[in-house]
Amino acid sequence: MTFYQQEINRIKELCYSNERHLDAVIKTRNYINSNIDKEVNLVLLSNIGFASKFHLLRLFKRYYGQTPQKYLTERRIEKSKEHLKNGMSVTETCFSVGFESPESFSTLFRSRVGQSPLQFQKEQFSQGELKRVC
């Protein structure tokens, strides 16, 4: 066993001493990543992770530094940025990443990114045109 593998094992034992906890959190994160466009709630996630919803909430926050809902929201915003950069309309983007209304999507996007989805998209297109000219 190499030095690095020994260190990884040592750190893993210190931080992730309970494999079942780690498995529950990883299953939860993987489910969120795979179902970003679907409705996800804590009850569903607790069933997937085989833990009570409050225990899962504490574990997820311990390992990832945020709640599952905040993680889901961040993933949706990142995915929506990709869609907007690729030219998808704001409304299509909204529904493709799991938001229920364009208004709530735009408000949340603006609060997280600092500009509306349409402003973000226009900025991306103008930057792309500048790169092609240079």
pLDDT tops 70 at residue 73? yes
Q: What is the pLDDT of residue 51?
A: 85
Q: 89: burial class by Cβ within 10 Å (0-12, 13-18, 19+)?
A: middle
Rounded Cα–Cα distance for residues 32 and 39 (Å): 10
Please give, one letter per residue, the 3-state secondary structure of 12-31. HHHHCCCHHHHHHHHHHHHH
Name which of 100, 34, 25, 32 is nearest 70 in CA terms. 32
pLDDT of amino acid 102: 94
Q: Are 58 and 69 in contact (CB under 8 A)?
A: no
pLDDT in tens, 78-123: 999 999 999 999 999 999 999 999 999 999 999 999 999 999 999 9
- CB 117 within 8 Å of CB 89: no
* Number of neighbours of residue 56 by Cβ within 10 angstroms: 25
pLDDT in tens, 39-72: 999 999 999 888 889 999 999 998 899 999 999 9
The tens digit of pLDDT for each residue in 11-32 reads: 777 665 577 888 889 999 999 9
- Rounded to two decimals, what is the model's pTM? 0.78
**Whole-number pLDDT of residue 130:** 43
